[in-house]
Structure 1
Amino acid sequence: MSESTTAATGLTSQYTAQVAGDLEGNLKEQERVGAEIAALQQQMNALQQDHSVLVNIQQALGVTREPDGPPATAESATAPTPPQETEAAPPSRRRARKTTAPRESTTAGKPVADRTTSKTGTAKAQPTLVELIRRHLVEQSEPRSAAEISTALSKAHPERTIKTKVVRVTTEGLVAKSQAQRTKQGNSVFYTAPAASAPVAVSGTEGQPEGTDR
């Protein structure tokens, strides 16, 4: 019994010493690997910082393309899809522009023609200054001076510039053609419609004083 006990004790001591040595070696290996991991982590941090600096420099130089490498390869696998979409987009846009351009031109041309027609029609419908003065004199029951005629016509037609001097010259032209009568009271001159107030056709030359009015 003593020999077996001694052998068992020797084996236990041997295993204990071996396990203790293995534990010590394991701890040292962990310390070594941990030191290597720390060193590698520092290297990774330095590389990441250098990468950020290089990217900033690249952007400052106006270069947007990433260098070839594993990260660029992963991006290049998805990059071709957007260029295909952008290349396919311009033809449809060109077609849209080609189809809409004639519509805009045709629709834009109609209002211009309408405006031109309306302007010309309005210009033809506007009475001349000679007609305005003759009508005004016919409507009056008392003689009117050139200033009074000018004031009344200016109020009735605010869109037109009617000056007293032009009204006086135009009315004198009517008097010369017997289309108005001229009376004088002291230093003032007054005008009335002719006794026979039948309308007289106005020739194109009668509208010349209105040209000075305009």
Structure 2
Amino acid sequence: MSQPSASSELTSQYAAQVSGDLERNVKEQDRIGAEIAELQAQLAALQHDHSVLLNMQQVLGITPAPAEPAAEPAVEPAAEPAASPRTKPRSRKAGTSSRRRTATRASAKKARPAAEPPARPTLVDLVRGHLAEQREPRSTSEIAAALSQEHPDRPVKNTVVRTTVEGLVAKGLAQRTKQGSSVYYTAPDTDRSGDAEPQSGTTE
């Protein structure tokens, strides 16, 4: 009788231990899942901030300068020892001069392609040019649609256009008018009688 009771007691201990381990495992999964969700939320917020900062950089017309190679030869020949009586100084000078010319040409070839491509107009320039050509106020959706049609290789989003024109309004390079619940934008030198007065301080 003692042996079965001891086996039953041991089984109960194992069952309690397994139940406790299982409960701790579930709690640990919940804790790690919550941490992962929080990290994902932080990552999404950082990605959103990154997108907003890129849009603001484009609105301000800031283009990151590409790393350019040095214009001068990066490697200068080391000082040469005094020529021995058997050395031919003229041939060594000719070789050094040839190496310098080769290095200078290579540097010029590397630096030249960066200046050759024509400067691509920024979205700020495109929006300003579009507003200058219009006689009537235009909404951000109308501006985005027109620019997307004129530049099919350069997709333009409505949110980016809104950020761009608001930046132009802040700089005095565009005017904002409000008609009812809609907001329209015009070039600053557009003269239209009867339209609503520009409301630079009005938020959408």
Q: Quickly name the TM-score band, shorter chain normalised.
A: 0.3 to 0.5
**TM-score of the two chains, using structure 2 as the length reference:** 0.37
Give 1 or 2 for the bigger CA radius of gyration.
1
Q: Which structure shows the higher helix fraction?
A: 1
